[in-house]
Amino acid sequence: MFLNTLLLALREIRRNLMRSFLTILGIVIGVAAVVTMVTLGQGATQMVSDQISSLGSNLLMVRPGQRLGPGRDAAGAPNFKKADVEAIRTQIGGLQEVVAVVAASMTLVAGNNNWASTVNGTTNGYLIAGNWKLAAGRAFLDDEERAGKAVCIIGATVRKELFGSRNPLGDEIRVKTFVCQVVGLLAAKGQGAMGMDQDDTVLMPLATVQRRLTGNQDVSSLMIALKDDAGASKSMEPIRLLLRERRKLAENEADNFNLMDTKQIAETLSGTIGTMTALLGAVAAVSLLVGGIGIMNIMLVSVTERTREIGIRLAIGALEQEVLLQFLIEAVMLSCLGGLIGIVLAFVACLGLSSLMHMPFLFNPAINLLAFGFSAAIGVIFGFMPARRAAQLDPIVALRHE
Amino acid sequence: MIREEAAPLIEFCGITKTYGKGQAGFQALRGIDLRISEGDFVAIMGPSGSGKSTALNILGCLDQPSDGEYLFQGLHVEQLDRSQRALLRRHCLGFVFQGFNLLPRTSALENVELPLLYRGGQAAARHVAARDALARVGLAGWESHTPAELSGGQQQRVAIARAIVTHPLVLLADEPTGNLDSQRSHEIMDLLAALNRDQGITILMVTHEPDMAAYARRLIRFVDGLVAEDKTQEVTVCS
């Protein structure tokens, strides 16, 4: 009996291709939309947290000026001095590394290629604090740092622009009036949290940049790596007070420097992305609902025709349970087929979109299951319930149904 | 009774049918007694609302009587449940309706096969039986056409083929020519008469056209839910 009924259901689907197609389409769209949106949202969250952790996790960034970002008010805020670095290092506990950085935008020339990038004068501590790894070559030597020798470590983007795929170690780059030798190559990190290219950078010893490029002893920013067990919030306040004192700020004056915890940025960004994911999820839920209503409509609209059909089947001797089983199989098959197509479609779309947006692709079985279950349930319920009502009528009533 | 007659195929004893309840109720059948023997060809006539279709639906187990006894081969149909009545329809009865009631977008062959699907059995055997039934109603070669591609007369032939593919004991026809022109009507009646004559299928037919009733051997006339006339007639039409 089951095989026969399966055959009947299959015939019915084939016979009503348009209706079957529309039913399936409703479920496909519902499932695909929900799964794609939630999966991409999670990929974005993952990407942001990856980028934050590539920044170095227990890190404080100190910059002159009151605000971050474009238009920040750095005019009245003096840079830091080398002595500030020493003061923090000696007076504040729980710190792993205090790194001075002086940045300068420069045009780099190697052979026939030139490239505008940021030169960071710093110490080897920068590699630890910034969570950088060397792909090739070495860090700075002590005497290179002390004497301010003309050596540099370059990022992957700079290497690509100046040397192509050639090994840059030992080659020379001309910056302004001097020539410096490439001693190291940083491992690529990719895009940063704000969308900037972290690999577009050149590191030189602090003294080299101060003497040959900026011409003063100023330090434009500080990176402070905390020991793992030291809480960022605990260290931040003493550092802030120390810097206020050293910068001779009166009690009623605001800070003219900015102290930022990377973990805090990470949390803020993750929170934002989380909100976005929730929003996308809500949009997806609405599309699931709309898809569900679409399925309902298709199913209910065909009830008149199907009631007559059920009447015919009953009149020629079909048992009520045979008719019901047929309609149930039909609804289950259409709903499951639609759900599966939706999941495959979402998988392909997520794969394509996440590679297009350079995001990790995280397959989430729960959301797939949820979307599938919901759509399939709607399809089955609204495919089956009207049929059940019709099959319980007297055959002659079902036949006369207009 | 002196001579023990063979039990009639169908027997109605005091069958009534009331639609609605209480004062507002409408009594469509007000106590029908009827005996129909196997192999008969009965035409049921009567004005609209006389209960002739209601009687046919009860005869065909599509509807249930409100009261009375209905015996089919000695079986008390009024005591059967839904499934048992469905099985009775499946194995013993065939239906032809005024509105044809074929499945839309379905080929003639599949429409005719439909009753066989509920009986199980081999697909090949089903195909042979369905083709044979279509050939018997003169539609060989039209197997793959859907109802929309067939004329009214052809659709009714497909419906007859569907009704006879299971070799039923009784064929019930509710105004089978009601939607057809005169020429097609006579063709359909010739077909029914031939089925009755050659294969011994008992035919119960409701009609309001005297021309069509003339094909039957027995004429029952309904008036106001009661049998007003029941006569055996000479078959005047030769096919």
Residue A1: its chain B contacts at CB < 8 A?
A: 120
User: Between chains, do B62 and A399 touch, taking CB under 8 Å as contact?
Assistant: yes
* B221 in a structural domain: yes
Strand partners, A202: A119, A154
Averaged pLDDT, B188-215 = 93
Mean pLDDT computed over every residue of chain B: 90
Q: CA-to-CA distance for A237 and A244, rounded, in angstroms?
A: 11
* B178 in a structural domain: yes
* B82 in a structural domain: yes
Comparing A40 with B43, which gets the higher pLDDT? B43
A:9-48 residues touching chain B, CB 8 A cutoff? 11, 15-16
pLDDT value at residue A228: 66
* B42 in a structural domain: yes
Taking alpha carbons only, the member of A186, A205, A61 closest to residue A131 is A186
DSSP notation for A217-249? -EE-EEEEEEPTTS-HHHHHHHHHHHHHHHTT-
Q: CA-to-CA distance for A245 and A87, rounded, in angstroms?
A: 11
Compare all CA atoms of chain B with the CA of A8 and give the residue at the minimum distance.
B117
The CATH number of the domain holding residue B74 is 3.40.50.300
Compare all CA atoms of chain B with the CA of A9 and give the residue at the minimum distance.
B117
The answer to whether the CB of A202 falls within 8 A of the CB of A154 is: yes
A25, amino acid identity:
L
Residue B82: its chain A contacts at CB < 8 A?
A: 320
Structure token digits, residue A345: 């479609």
pLDDT value at residue A367: 87
pLDDT value at residue A122: 92
pLDDT in tens, chain A (402 residues): 677 788 888 888 888 888 888 888 888 888 898 899 888 888 887 887 777 766 665 788 888 887 555 555 555 678 888 888 888 888 887 788 889 999 888 999 998 889 999 999 999 888 888 888 898 899 999 899 888 899 999 999 999 999 988 888 989 999 988 899 999 999 988 776 566 788 899 999 999 999 888 888 888 888 888 876 556 667 788 888 888 888 888 888 888 888 888 777 777 777 887 787 788 778 877 877 887 787 788 777 777 778 888 999 999 999 999 888 888 888 888 889 999 999 999 999 999 999 998 888 888 898 899 888 888 888 888 888 888 888 888 888 888 887
Query: For residue B204, what are the domain limits?
Result: 10-232
Q: CA-to-CA distance for A225 and A207, rounded, in angstroms?
A: 21
Q: How long a stretch of residues is chain B? A: 239
- How many structural domains are present in chain B? 1
User: Between chains, do A309 and B103 touch, taking CB under 8 Å as contact?
Assistant: yes
Q: What is the pTM of this model?
A: 0.71
* B94 in a structural domain: yes
Query: Nearest-CA distance from B81 to chain A in Å?
Result: 11
* Test the A interface: residue of B114, B164, B206 with most A CBs within 10 Å: B114
B:52-111 residues touching chain A, CB 8 A cutoff? 57, 60, 62-64, 82-83, 86-87, 89-91, 93, 95, 97, 101-106, 110
ipTM for the whole complex: 0.92
Q: Which residues, other chains included, contact A288 with Cβ-Cβ below 8 Å and sequence gap of 6+?
A: A30, A31, A33, A34, A371, A374, A375
Q: Which residues, other chains included, contact A71 with Cβ-Cβ below 8 Å and sequence gap of 6+?
A: none
pLDDT value at residue A380: 85
Question: Which pLDDT band, with edges at 50, 70 and 90, does B61 fall under?
Answer: very high
Comparing B22 with A387, which gets the higher pLDDT? A387
Question: Which pLDDT band, with edges at 50, 70 and 90, does B238 fall under?
Answer: low
Q: Which residues, other chains included, contact B135 with Cβ-Cβ below 8 Å and sequence gap of 6+?
A: none
Q: Which residues, other chains included, contact A160 with Cβ-Cβ below 8 Å and sequence gap of 6+?
A: none
If phi > 0 it is left, if psi is from -120 to 50 it is alpha, else beta; for residue B167 that is: left
pLDDT per position as a tens digit, B98-140: 889 999 889 999 999 999 988 888 889 999 999 999 999 999 9
Q: Which residues, other chains included, contact A242 with Cβ-Cβ below 8 Å and sequence gap of 6+?
A: A87, A88, A91, A92
* B83 in a structural domain: yes
Domain ranges within chain A, ordered by starting residue? 2-52+267-400, 96-230
**Closest Cβ–Cβ partner in A15, A313, A395 for B62:** A395
* B154 in a structural domain: yes
Helices H / strands E in chain B, number of each: 7, 10
Q: Which residues, other chains included, contact A291 with Cβ-Cβ below 8 Å and sequence gap of 6+?
A: A26, A27, A29, A30, A31, A33, A375
Q: What Å distances lie between residue A322 and A16, A178, A274, A327, CA to CA? A: 19, 90, 49, 9
Query: Nearest-CA distance from B83 to chain A in Å?
Result: 6
pLDDT value at residue B239: 47
The answer to whether the CB of B41 falls within 8 A of the CB of B216 is: yes
Instruction: Check CB contact of A317 with chain B, cutoff 8 Å.
Output: yes
User: Between chains, do A316 and B115 touch, taking CB under 8 Å as contact?
Assistant: yes
A:283-312 residues touching chain B, CB 8 A cutoff? 305, 308-309, 311-312
H/E segment holding residue B56 = helix B52-59
User: Between chains, do A318 and B86 touch, taking CB under 8 Å as contact?
Assistant: yes
User: Between chains, do A318 and B91 touch, taking CB under 8 Å as contact?
Assistant: no
pLDDT value at residue B194: 94
Compare all CA atoms of chain A with the CA of B53 and give the residue at the minimum distance.
A396
Question: Which pLDDT band, with edges at 50, 70 and 90, does B2 fall under?
Answer: very low
